[in-house]
Homo-oligomer: A and B are copies of this chain.
């Protein structure tokens, strides 16, 4: 038969456990290391650290690409720091597109929850894998490979992308080529694009040089 005295055993255990962390909620103000952010003091951690509510409303797609990407990476969702995964919401109005891009630090699973999406990726062996997804479908993009998403129908599509890292990174090819200070001559030399094409996109995307 059990009596309250059993507490003494458990209290000892819990004392030891006081120093144990099963998680490492990001302290965004602390030093960051190769494995992620420093851990918030566990005494100050609450359930709010493990819940992200920023996906309740749709992203704003009133822009020329008719799309919005809303990340819940470690910087936005401190609870995922150190846990090996994160998530983002994707809104694609009719005609919307998430341009060709890569995530240097993670593989991705795309889940369509509304509408249809035409999506695909290209492998190192230069094979093309493209598919039209409907509500409920999932596609996986292996780490670091070029991929894209396009609204595949006449109404807004919504999807959620899960990543195998709390910090997957995002490199949109157009933005990397035309949206910064990389000189046009270097872009042309390394992509074989024509000068007029490069200059045109640099103007649109705010690049200089």
A63 touches B24 (CB 8 A): no
A126 touches B194 (CB 8 A): no
A99 touches B39 (CB 8 A): no
A36 touches B34 (CB 8 A): yes
A: residues with CB less than 8 A from B are 2-10, 12-14, 16-24, 27, 30-39, 42, 45-47, 50-53, 55-57, 63-65, 67-69, 71-73, 75-77, 79-87, 89, 97, 99-100, 102-107, 109, 111, 113, 118, 120-131, 133-146, 148, 150, 160, 162-165, 167, 169-177, 179-182, 186, 189-194, 197, 200-201, 203-206
B140 touches A99 (CB 8 A): no
| A19 contacts across to B, CB distance below 8 A | 73, 75-76
- A138 with B52: in contact, given A3-B204, A130-B186, A170-B124 (CB under 8 Å)? yes
A9 touches B125 (CB 8 A): no
Shortest CB distance A169–B (Å): 4
B31 touches A31 (CB 8 A): yes
A144 touches B124 (CB 8 A): no
